Structure 1
């Protein structure tokens, strides 16, 4: 991959390529519908190991995007994990629910939790069934709520 951006058929950016900080091997951007039909973006990268250890669910914080976590994603992949990482509603390249793209707003925090669950469901047929969670800031709150309410299970969770 070169520097710049990968775009979809409509010319919208799928992935911002960061010089010197490539995405993990085999990365695929997946767009899926969130609450209210807004387009949400996630990255999925399969494990490079013959026997994947688990799916590492990488949950960024507020205003953070998939691209910020390329190094973490590559490190996890090198240790045998498949990777999924999310742009939450109104974050990164996911659609903004409000007309003002700078404002971050949801009516209910479960909008974020639902985005996590819908994303995991979208890759369930090809991702390892066991999960670990690596989360930061708002991503920690989102994943912790999903874990607390039993909507996802994880062998391990690390929050920062």
Structure 2
């Protein structure tokens, strides 16, 4: 009796090459799980640790985390800060500045996150996510100080949340 050993490997691509293919898959009606890159959604989501489960967006509202193309082949996964007709304002949880796009540039809607290597997903409609979102959005005036404390003091002592 022979044993089959499977190995996996991870390949990294530049977002400008990879994410347009993800958009095609989403437009075909499939879901996509992406490993997150960057620090714009801190403190809740961390670079190269957490994953987001995306679907093709059907409806969007303020507070929703989405994948958007803010300029040709430049994608961000941020929360919708404001909707004004077809104009969308986005802000990452770890960002102080906003970015803008049109409604048609929202290419993916996040329905959940896999955090800290867990197999169970935190859905964006669960109580935990809604509570976190409720408070974090309202802390915008003091977010600069909270993020500075998190980055300079919390992470070196305790590691990422």
TM-score range for the pair, normalised by the shorter chain length: under 0.3
Q: TM-score w.r.t. structure 2 length?
A: 0.23
Q: TM-score w.r.t. structure 1 length?
A: 0.23
Structure having the higher helix fraction is 2
Computing the radius of gyration from Cα coordinates, the structure with the larger value is: 2
